[in-house]
Structure 1
Amino acid sequence: MPEYTVIIIRSVFAFFFVLLIARILGKKQIAQMTFFDYITGITIGNIAASLAINTNIQPLNTIIGMIIFTTFSILIAFFALESLKIRQIVEGSPTTLIQDGNIIEKNLLKVRMTFDDLMMGLREKNVFKLADVESAVLETNGKISVMKKTENNPLTPKDIGLPVESEHAPSLIIMDGYVLRKRVQYLGYSEEWLLGEIKKQGAEDFKDVFLAQIDSKGNVHVDLYNEEKKPQQVKQKPLLAAQLRKMQGDLESFAIQTDDQVAKKMYLNQSKELQDLINKVIPYLKE
């Protein structure tokens, strides 16, 4: 058998064998990988590369080597979950670099990190001033976690007591012109309603839609095959808020124009009640 044929066969086998090992080891994002995970992955990859192109190595030997590394990786990961000491030996522990706004120089020296490295890690977290940092920790995966000082944190609706409507992830309801009927029904909508929504955005039929999503507020986002047909979409909730304000203003105007005291009082009371209603619902009418 020609040598290149052997290499092709061994490469295909090595590829699928490494794929099998990766599935056995489980999913782990690169950003979450520890130094141990990184070294183990490189070693298994090198063994697989040797199996693919080094015809002087017996395939069985490389397979045994990969199985041993995989087995030890699984065992160590299991024991690390059960034991804090083993976890600290294998993964290490986080190192505090900044505490109470002060840099801990001895810990920088301990992890062999320069001030420039520290500042680069802070900038990756959108922090450019040391004065903004309350605490910074070097994680076991080499990333820096930053906690800003309280006065530098962004303001949230919770901080000012503003009620907001909870949301869930948007759902795909049309794909390649095909309506996902079960999903539409599960969300409580009808195909007739959906057709009306996509027509507002320039589609004549479902087949004109490449993708369509619906969010928890009932807003439908449509991506057409022909985007030139898509008109400027009117946002319904801000429009409703504006209409309510107009109605409240009209009631006040009627109260001023009439000479009938009973009618005047009625208009003012209705205007006040409508204003109270607007104050309650306005947080939910924001896009």
Structure 2
Amino acid sequence: MPEYMVIVVRSLMTFFFVLLMARILGKKQIAQLTFFDYITGITIGNMASAMAINASLQPINAVIGVTIFSVLTLLIARGAIGSLTFRKLVEGSPTILIKNGDVLEKNLAKVNITFDDLMMGLREKNAFKLSDVEAAVLETNGKISVMKKTEYNPLTPKDINLPVESEHTPSLIIIDGVLMSKRLNYLGYSEEWLLGEVMKQGAKDFKEIYLAQIDSTGKVYVDLYNDEEKQQQVKQKPLLSAQLRKIQADLEGFAIQTNDQAAKQMYYNQSKEIQDLINHINPYLKE
């Protein structure tokens, strides 16, 4: 077999083997990686690259090496979860750099951090003045966490006893021009209502939308394929037609939800009247 074909085969084998090891080790955010995780990742990467392109290295030897490192990393991670003492031994513990507004010079020297490094970490947290900082901690991933003094924290609605409506996770309801109908129905909204909302933002059809997201308050964010269309004035006649269809859909929804037969019939009758109105004025709403 030609040498380049050997490299191709070894590279493919290495890729899927490393993918398997990565899945076994699990997910961890980059910002949460400790120095140990960083070094282990580099070592496994070097072993994998050697397995892919070093023809003198037996693949089985590289597989054994990567497997041992991966298994040990996994065992250490599991051990760190189950034992506080073991976690401190492997990952270390956070170091207090500023306490009660005072810089702890001995702790800075202990972790080899200069005053310039400290100030850079504070500025990354929007703390440009030492006088604003109550406490600062060097985390095990090398990041500096900052707690500002109470008087310098942003004012929140809770601080002034202002009641606000709780918000929940927003949901994407249109992705690449495709409407997520089941998701929209689960949230309790109709397609007619959504069409009216997106038309307010310059879209004539769902296919013109790249992404649309709805939050827990019913506010819809729309990103069009052609952003220039969003800047154009929304035409009122098609919007009126969409709003009438929304009202009709809402009435039908009310009829389905109620158990009162009289109310149910009333909603259906009103829905039929709206449909008759739409049929009557629809020719005048076309542009």
**TM norm structure 2:** 0.77
Unaligned 5+ runs, structure 2: 235-287
Residue number in structure 1 paired with 2:279:
none
Q: Secondary structure at the match of 1:36?
A: helix
Distance 2:125 2:63 in 1: 42
Q: Secondary structure at the match of 1:222?
A: strand
User: How much does 1:233 deviate?
Assistant: 8.4
Number of residues paired by the alignment?
234
Are 1:22 and 2:22 counterparts? yes
Of stretches 130-139 and 197-206 in structure 1, the one that deviates more from structure 2 is 197-206
Corresponding letter in the other structure for 2:74: I
Residue number in structure 2 paired with 1:125:
125
Residue number in structure 1 paired with 2:94:
94
Distance 2:121 2:169 in 1: 31
Are 1:7 and 2:12 counterparts? no
User: How much does 1:211 deviate?
Assistant: 2.3
Residue number in structure 2 paired with 1:178:
178
Distance 1:233 1:26 in 2: 49
Distance 1:72 1:180 in 2: 43
Q: Secondary structure at the match of 1:230?
A: helix
Distance 1:19 1:226 in 2: 38
Distance 1:35 1:25 in 2: 16
Taking a change above 3 Å as real, the CA distance of residues 68 and 2 of structure 1, as seen in their structure-2 partners, is: same
Deviations 1:169-199 (CA, angstroms, capped at 9, x unpaired): 2222223333221111111111121222222
User: How much does 1:19 deviate?
Assistant: 1.2
* C-alpha contact 2:36 2:91 (8 A) present in aligned 1: yes
Residue number in structure 2 paired with 1:203:
203
Q: Secondary structure at the match of 2:160?
A: coil
Taking a change above 3 Å as real, the CA distance of residues 84 and 24 of structure 1, as seen in their structure-2 partners, is: same
Q: Secondary structure at the match of 2:158?
A: coil
Are 1:112 and 2:112 counterparts? yes
Residue number in structure 2 paired with 1:271:
none
Deviations 1:80-124 (CA, angstroms, capped at 9, x unpaired): 112222111100011111101111111111101111111111111
C-alpha RMSD of matched pairs (Å): 1.7
After the TM superposition, which residues 25-64 of structure 1 pair with which residues of structure 2 at under 5 Å, given as runs? 25-64=25-64
User: How much does 1:203 deviate?
Assistant: 2.5
Residue number in structure 2 paired with 1:229:
229
Residue number in structure 2 paired with 1:151:
151
Distance 1:24 1:36 in 2: 18
Corresponding letter in the other structure for 2:153: N
Distance 1:68 1:5 in 2: 28
Distance 2:159 2:100 in 1: 23
Q: Secondary structure at the match of 1:201?
A: coil
Deviations 1:124-171 (CA, angstroms, capped at 9, x unpaired): 111111111111111111110111111111100000001111111222
Residue number in structure 2 paired with 1:73:
73
User: How much does 1:229 deviate?
Assistant: 3.2
Residue number in structure 1 paired with 2:190:
190
Deviations 1:206-238 (CA, angstroms, capped at 9, x unpaired): 23333222111111222233333335789xxxx
Taking a change above 3 Å as real, the CA distance of residues 43 and 167 of structure 1, as seen in their structure-2 partners, is: same
Residue number in structure 1 paired with 2:220:
220
Residue number in structure 1 paired with 2:250:
none
**TM norm structure 1:** 0.77
Corresponding letter in the other structure for 2:197: E
Unaligned 5+ runs, structure 1: 235-287
Distance 1:145 1:224 in 2: 38
Distance 1:6 1:35 in 2: 35
Taking a change above 3 Å as real, the CA distance of residues 233 and 111 of structure 1, as seen in their structure-2 partners, is: farther
Residue number in structure 2 paired with 1:141:
141
Distance 1:233 1:157 in 2: 35
Distance 2:87 2:11 in 1: 35
Distance 1:220 1:150 in 2: 35
User: How much does 1:3 deviate?
Assistant: 1.5
Residue number in structure 2 paired with 1:161:
161
Corresponding letter in the other structure for 1:49: S
Corresponding letter in the other structure for 1:40: T
